[in-house]
Each structure stands twice: as C-alpha cells, then as structure tokens.
Structure 1
C-alpha cells in the first residue's frame, strides 16, 4: 500500500535530501511525496521520475500545511533535513511541525543516516 511521505529540507540541506532520494528512488517510487515548494523543485530536478507534490514554501506556510496533513492522518512519515548551523526565520513553524509529528507518532528522520535506517527498517516496504 503506497504511503504519503513528507520530504522537507532547509536551504543548505536541499542538495543532500535530493541525493538521498536519488539513492532511494526505487523505494520512494511507489509512494506520494509531499514537499515544501523549493525543496520539491530541487527534489524533482534531481529525481524527475518521483511522484512529488508541493505545498507552499516553508516560511510562507508550507510547514504548517504539512503539519495539517499529519494531523489529518494523510502523511505517514517525514524525512526532514534541517540545517543545524543556520538560524531560520520561520523557526516557530518548524517547531510546530516537529511537535505535530511527535504528537501523531509519525516516523521521522532528520539526517541521511536516520533516513537510511527508516528505509532499512522497512518503512517504505508497506
């Protein structure tokens, strides 16, 4: 059964997320991917065969849109590569997204290593 996965990354981490997705394109292919706008563009450029749908940019409400989808049960996992060394103007939105993911017990990964573990653990084989 296909899943809906949120894939999000801060600016400097977008290339790393696109490369991670390229390494796991076969596992991601059957699933619907929801991305914030710019992240989705970078991901789609690097992985044109993936099923990517975009919402607004994170600072313009995209993080909150994804949070709403999680609360509605429409997102079953999240891969989010934050930039731990750069301040984010929309930090409160990011914290709200993380809080919602925790409240609804959605499997999450916040680095390539933990995202690899979600794949190895079978999340994408549902």
Structure 2
C-alpha cells in the first residue's frame, strides 16, 4: 500500500486508451498546477502526448502499453512507488490487451492504490491526495 501522503513528492501513473488520450491530456492541463511538483509516469504514447502539451511537467515515459508499459506501471505499483493510478479506460472500444487492463486493476486493488478511470474520479482522487 502506498503511504506517500506525508508531504513528499506525489507519484502518479497516467494511462489512457486511444479514444481517451485527449480526455487525459485535457484533465492534466486542467490540473497542471497540482501536478507540476509531482513525479509522473505514463505509458509511451500517452506520456508523449502529455509532454507535448505540457513540457514543464516531470513525466517519465515508459514503453507503450501493449509493448510492456502496463507491466512497468504494474511493477511500480508492486514496489510501492506510486500514490495513484489514473487510467482513463474507453468502455466503448474493443480492448485487444484487456488482460493488461485487468492486471493493473487487480494490482491497484491488492495494493490498495487509489485508482481512477474517469476525469471526475481522477479529480476527486487528486484532491484527496493533495489534502491528505
């Protein structure tokens, strides 16, 4: 379980399905002032899109999700190196790597990691983490 609410640098993973990448980038732009001091991790394409929009953020781009980025996020969860996972899932599109989505969901639950799948939930989780 993550317990980084003591004022240390907030560590957040950002992942989005193709049809939700614009929504995640927009959410990050809206919350940029709260994320400027955070250590952000993102799967490849998502991280590149966020970095293009907001190069001031401290974002570490991992591999693309289907190429192992989801597993890299999973490892960060297992190692206690994340305070939250924001994974904007598109429920209307087929998910060829659905097992990876399920694995991340399972790890977030096992390690009691705050896990948001939508803009509104991500906003509430972020506010909760900031107000600890």
User: What's the TM-score bracket when you normalise by the shorter of the two chains?
Assistant: over 0.9
Structure 1: runs of 5 or more not aligned: none
SS of the residue corresponding to residue 106 of structure 1 reads coil
Equivalent position of 1:28 in the other structure: 35
Do 1:69 and 1:75's aligned partners in 2 also have CA atoms closer than 8 Å? Answer: yes
Distance 1:22 1:39 in 2: 13
**Which one of the candidate residues 20, 24, 28 is aligned to 1:13?**
20
How far off its partner does 1:125 sit?
Answer: 4.8
Q: TM-score, normalised by structure 2?
A: 0.91
Q: Tell me, yes or no, if the aligned pair for 1:28 and 1:124 is still in contact at 8 Å.
A: no
- 1:30-86: CA deviations, max 9, x gaps? 110000000001111111111110111110111011001100001111111011100
Matched, 1:89 2:96: yes
Q: How many aligned residue pairs are there?
A: 125
Partner of 1:54: 61
Write the deviation string for residues 60-115 of structure 1: whole angstroms up to 9, x where unpaired: 11101100110000111111101110011111011101100110000111100111
If the length of structure 1 is used for normalisation, what is the TM-score? Answer: 0.95
Q: Secondary structure at the match of 2:130?
A: helix
Superposition CA RMSD, Å: 1.1
List, as ranges, runs of 4+ consecutive aligned residues in structure 1 with deviation greater than 6 Å: none
